[in-house]
Each structure stands twice: as structure tokens, then as C-alpha cells.
Amino acid sequence: MKKGFYTIMSAQFFSSLADNALLVAAIELLKTGGAPSWHIPALTPMFALFYVLLAPLVGAFADAVPKGKVMFIANAIKVLGCLLILFGANPLLSYGIVGLGAAAYSPAKYGILTELLPNSQLVKANGWIEGLTILSIIFGVVLGGQLLGHVVSHQLLSFDFPIIDTGISTAPEAAVAVIVSLYVVAALFNLRIPRTDAPLQPLGKESHKFKEPAPQRAPRPSRLRKAPAQTPSGDATAPN
């Protein structure tokens, strides 16, 4: 495997780890914030909403921009969603913004593998990515629970920056602040992803629009010469 593949794996692990830890923190935020009961089961559909709405667009965007940069932008969007939570925005809507980043991240994550690795290594590479993603889901849920636990949350809330008032006063908010740092780590790995030699496909170019095939002309009928008639003796007679 090329060195760049391990950078992609590292970025994927930290980004997915943060996604799943954030889900646990968002659930706790909704519980402690007195949100309507339907907000909690709506978190996952809200996260997946942009996967459906932007499916025709995010793939084209990932082909128009270097995929390492696309993944960096996607993690920046996730950080924005977390910051909205910390500034008091609705956790459900803010988690949807994180889903927007995840929707943009996914096609770039898989698309760069075909550009970076030979065909003979793609099955193995996808297996590593999928296995690492499942591992990050498990660890992310565990991490989210630990960040909300009494011991860890007490340590986080007791930490205070000099002069700066962060406004973080609850365990879920402290957990979100830590999760932001995970997205930042993932973004730093994104910056280290090598640029491949694959040509970019700019958006809006005429050459990428669907073109109807040109109508084919019917073949011109060939002029057939009349075959000479055969006499009973087998001699040919000239045509009239």
C-alpha cells in the first residue's frame, strides 16, 4: 500500500470517530435541553438527509476538486456544525449541518482510492476502510459516553482558559468541544493526502453534459446490374 493510503485511513478514522461521539453528545443535549421527544429519533434521519438531497451533486464536486481538499472542506463543515451547537443553535439542525459535511466527505473518500491505488489493491483497500469505519463507530459511541460521564466531564468543566470565557457550562457542551478537536485532527490528515495525477472534471463544462448521439444516415441503395439470362444450353444472353 502507498503511504498516502494510510493518511486517508487516519483521516477517515478520526472523522468517523467524531461523528459517532457527536451523536451521543447531541442526544444528551436534547435530553437536558428539554427538546421535544421526537427530536432524538430524528437525529439520524437528519444526518442522512443531505446524503439523499445532494447525492447527484457531491460526486461531481468531488471530481471537480482535488479529493484531499474536498475531505478537508467536509471536515470544516462538520466543525461549523459543532460550533453552532456550542453557540446555542438547535442541536437537531446543527447535527444536520454535520451530515452535510459527511455527505460531501463520502464520495471523495472512496473516489481517491481508485486514483491512488492499482486495481489489484482496491478490494483490500476498501476492506481496510470499511473495517476501520466499523471500529471507529464502536469507539466513537464509547468515547461519547465517557466524555459525558461524571469523572471525565467534571475534569473538562474544571478546566478554564485564562481571560477567555468559553461559555461551556454543561457536560454535553464540553464533549462537543473535545469532538471539535477530533475533526481538526482529521482535517490535518486531509491536508497531507497526496494529490493524484487523475484529471479533474470541472463543473458546468459542455463536454460533461449528456449529448444525444448523432442520427445515422441510412445506407444508400446500391445499383445492381441485371444479371444476364441463361439459355437452356447454359449460354448467357445479353440483357435487353
Query: What domains can you pick out in the chain, each with its CATH number?
Result: 3-159+167-191 (1.20.1250.20)
Which of residues 66 and 2 earns the better pLDDT score?
66
HSE at residue 240, side-chain half, CA atoms within 13 A, is 0
Q: Assess whether pLDDT exceeds 80 at residue 115.
A: yes
pTM of the entire predicted model: 0.78
pLDDT of residue 220: 60
Q: Whole-angstrom Cα distance, residue 50 to residue 137?
A: 20
pLDDT of residue 210: 42
pLDDT of residue 189: 93
pLDDT range class, residue 143, cuts 50, 70, 90? very high
What number is the average pLDDT over the span 18-46? 89
Q: Assess whether pLDDT exceeds 70 at residue 176.
A: yes
Which of residues 90 and 56 earns the better pLDDT score?
90
SS3 label, residue 230: strand
Task: Output b/e per residue, 199-212; b: 16+ Cβ within 10 A.
Answer: eeeeeeeeeeeeee
Judge contact between 99 and 48, C-beta under 8 A: yes
Phi, psi of 204 (to 5 degrees): 80, 5
Judge contact between 36 and 92, C-beta under 8 A: no
In Å, how far are 83, 176, 224 from 181, measured between CA atoms? 11, 9, 82
Q: How many CB atoms lie within 10 A of CB 13?
A: 21
Q: Whole-angstrom Cα distance, residue 107 to residue 87?
A: 30
**What amino acid occupies position 158?**
S
In Å, how far are 39, 151, 167 from 218, measured between CA atoms? 63, 81, 77
What cell does 73 get?
Answer: 472542506
Q: How many CB atoms lie within 10 A of CB 133?
A: 18
Residue 44's nearest CA partner among 69, 19, 72 is 19
What number is the average pLDDT over the span 1-25? 89
pLDDT of residue 206: 42
pLDDT of residue 207: 41
Q: How many CB atoms lie within 10 A of CB 145?
A: 15
pLDDT of residue 165: 62
